Amino acid sequence: MQEFKPFASLGQAQAQAYLGVMYANGQGVPRDYQEAVKWYRLAAEQGDVDAQFNLGLMYANGEGVSQDYKGAAKWYRLAAEQGDADAQFNLGVIYANGQGVPRDYKEAVKWHRLAAEQGHAAAQFNIGVTYANGQGVSQDYQEAVKWYRLAAEQGNVAAQFNLGRRYDDGQGVPQDSKEAVKWYRLAAEQGNAAAQSNLGVMYANGQGVPQDYPEAVKWYRLAAERGHAAAQFNLGVMYANGQGVPQDYQEAVKWYRPAAERGRADAQSNLGVMLANGQGVPQDYPEAVKWHRLAAAQGNAAAQFNLGVMLANGQGVPQDSKEAVRWHRLAAEQGRADAQFKLGVMLANGQGAQQDYQEAVKWYQLAAEQGRADARFNLGVMYANGQGVPLDYQEAAKWYRLAAKQGDADAQFNLGLMYANGQGVPQDYQEAVKWHWLAAAQGDANAHANLGLMYANGQGVPQDFQEAVKWFRLAAAQGNAAAQCNLGVMYANGLGVVASRALAYALYSLSATIDPSEINKAANNRKALSELMQPEENNPAQKLAREMLKPGNVLQALDKYAQALPL
């Protein structure tokens, strides 16, 4: 300090500039920005380039003087015109941001380029950004990559990240996941949260590196702890799915929440799902609706669909089918298959909107083309019934077959019916049996009932009354009225079982109670049978009918009575 002050007092610019630095940094003297400005100014007015730059910094930062970007630009320019790279860079920033000067991207590029050509890494990065965004120059990703690379090779973390992104998305360079990983890693190791997050994505997806969930979790966690919303969301997903960590819904919620609070729609949507399902948190429908609504308002299709479901079901909100249709439509228009299917159902049933079969078919078709089995089944039903489309059994069979091959039991049953009846396909009882078997294996009561008929009539299989009884019993226990009636026929005629008019009467009564329509012959069968029954048979038969009407008691009551029958 003492050695510079005499020279500074005599007007030596370099000494004045050094003295300004000492006051600005508190080196050998108490820090005093005003005193620093005083000495910088004296040196700057003599043309000292370092003093001009430093005086520009003081004006830009409002240190020792009132913040004044115009003043900063003045002093930066003087230093920049002398070739000072830092001043050229800062003057470029001033023009890019329109601080103290009118915003002028071309002028910003001019000064950044001068600094960049001197090897100034931050300026090289900014030139890269300028080319990437087409600000002050024609957009040119290749040129952007050139400047990013120069800065990245000097260790500029932002340039390393951006160069990684260019390799990741193939803008300005051929797409190269390995090269993307290389640059992401360099930036990530310097603590860049966005690079850490993206490196996590690469490990999670096996892009440019072998898939490694624990390594993905490591990088997500580093970024998440820095408050990076995408990493917080992805870390939540890893915990929810048990990828790279033990599955832990509470931990998933912990990370979804901060990302959701930062406005990230996918995190808001996932948090809504956790709350609706009571995963990691107590089930809370109103809170789930809140987060779904926030995400849905941002256009998140999953949230729009889930909000529609909650409105349709009255979960956390008053039931509102009209609003449900609105949200399902928004999600459906974004191509979400479950929303397309649900919208089709609501339109077909006239829920929340006027019944419109043609519109329902449209949405079923879109969902079906995405491979959704239930939409394919429903589309088959529409063609089979001529609802919203001309009746077309061949088209119905086509869609039933697609859904049936995906394991949809309803479609398997209906396709079996088409073969049994020769609708849309050549009549083929063996093929009918095949599809009924597949549906029956999934517990489909209608398929059980129809298999019983096929065995009873010897259609597609050798006639086998005992096998018919087996399938009728399974369907009857599930409340299938036709099977209950047919099982009654078997007992009335002693087909595959010991004949019992009381059991037949009880089964007819049960069937007629469940399905009193004229198409069901149970009531007529019961009437005809009662005319043949002896008086002493009536009371046991009626008592047995009452027992069978008890929930879940059909086979228990039937078997208890049948065991007492003489062989």
Q: What does the pLDDT read at residue 9?
A: 73
Residue pointed to by tokens 């910088």: 40
- Alpha helix locations (H) across 134-176? 141-152, 157-169
Helices vs strands, H then E, count in the chain: 32, 0
Rounded to two decimals, the pTM is 0.87
Q: Which amino acid is at 471?
A: W
> Quick one: which H or E segment has residue 100?
none
The pLDDT of residue 421:
98
Q: Token pair for residue 122? A: 């931050």
Spatial separation of the C-alpha atoms in residues 38 and 81, rounded to whole Å? 22
pLDDT tens-digit series, residues 125-141: 999 999 999 999 999 99
The candidate with the shortest Cα–Cα distance to 411, out of 444, 387, 385, is 444
Spatial distance between the Cα atoms of 419 and 431, rounded to a whole number of angstroms: 6
Query: Tokens 């009132």 identify what position?
Result: 66
Name the H helices within 46-192.
49-61, 69-81, 85-97, 105-116, 121-133, 141-152, 157-169, 177-189
**pLDDT at res. 138:** 97
With contact defined as beta carbons under 8 Å apart, do 440 and 409 qualify?
no
Q: Which residues of the chain have pLDDT under 70?
A: 1-4, 6-8, 566-567
- Would you call 552 exposed, middle or buried from its count of C-beta atoms within 10 A (0-12, 13-18, 19+)? exposed
Block residue for tokens 């007529």: 524
**DSSP H/E element including 297:** helix 285-297
Question: How high is the pLDDT of residue 567?
Answer: 53
The predicted pLDDT at position 8 comes to 67
Q: Give the E-state strand segments of 29-179 in sequence order.
A: none
User: To which residue do tokens 């909100």 refer?
Assistant: 317
Please tell me the chain's helix, strand, coil percentages from 3-state DSSP, rounded to the nearest 5. Answer: 70, 0, 30
**pLDDT value of position 450:** 98
Instruction: Quote the pLDDT of residue 270.
Output: 99
